[in-house]
């Protein structure tokens, strides 16, 4: 079951201004369903080819996911796709981050901390899940799994930006 756009839009618009999870909670991840690539597996596969890893790292050095505008985020994804660092499928998946920001009412040139944004979104989704009726649980769980996957990817990108020389693709 899909979450209606107005419900999800309301959820996303309420993400800004909420308290975030503690570092301990942020480090806890839930396992993905069987057959679904984890963000780590995806990132490992992304840069397995020779030379692509350094190119990806060079692109990522130019962006700070803790202070980035939606427009800059889209530009970063476009560069990663054009350089072959991410596939078309991965690009399409990651563009959902931009759609989430738009649904939350964040302007194209408004800086946002993507880690904080997704931590808050996940807290709200977890709350919704605990209060949800049986028929709406599937849609909320799917949205929560997608948000967890995006947060994991963003955390790896952020680690690369904070600690030069760290291989986020491993």
- Residue 27, pLDDT > 60, answer no
- pLDDT tens, 64-86? 999 999 999 999 999 999 999 89
Residue 49's CB is within 10 A of a number of other CB atoms, namely 11
- Residue 102, pLDDT > 70, answer yes
- Residue 19, pLDDT > 50, answer no
Distance CA 80, CA 34 (A): 27
Query: Tell me, what's the pLDDT at 133?
Result: 81
Query: Which H or E run includes 70?
Result: helix 70-82
Calculate the dihedral angle through the C-alpha atoms of 6, 143, 47, 161, rounding to the nearest 10 degrees: 70
Distance CA 106, CA 90 (A): 23
- Residue 153, pLDDT > 90, answer yes
- Residue 4, pLDDT > 50, answer no
If you average pLDDT over residues 160-167, what whole number do you get?
55
Map out the domains of the chain as residue ranges. 5-15+38-161
Distance CA 74, CA 77 (A): 5
Q: List the single range of 27-31, 39-43, 97-101, 128-132 with lowest mean pLDDT.
A: 27-31
Task: Please name which of 150, 50, 59, 156 lies closest in space to residue 97, comparing C-alpha atoms.
Answer: 150
């Amino acid at each position: 079951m899909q979450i209606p756009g107005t419900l999800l839009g309301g959820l996303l618009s309420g993400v800004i201004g909420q308290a975030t999870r503690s570092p301990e909670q942020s480090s806890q991840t839930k396992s993905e369903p069987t057959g679904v690539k984890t963000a780590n597996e995806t990132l490992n596969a992304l840069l397995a080819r020779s030379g692509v890893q350094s190119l990806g790292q060079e692109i990522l050095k130019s962006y700070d996911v803790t202070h980035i505008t939606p427009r800059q985020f889209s530009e970063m994804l476009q560069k990663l796709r054009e350089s072959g660092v991410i596939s078309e499928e991965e690009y399409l998946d990651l563009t959902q981050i931009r759609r989430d920001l738009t649904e939350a009412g964040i302007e194209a040139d408004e800086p946002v901390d993507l880690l904080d944004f997704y931590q808050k979104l996940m807290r709200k989704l977890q709350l919704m899940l605990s209060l949800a009726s049986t028929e709406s649980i599937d849609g909320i769980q799917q949205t929560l799994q997608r948000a967890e996957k995006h947060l994991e990817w963003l955390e790896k990108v952020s680690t690369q930006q904070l600690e030069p020389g760290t291989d986020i693709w491993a």
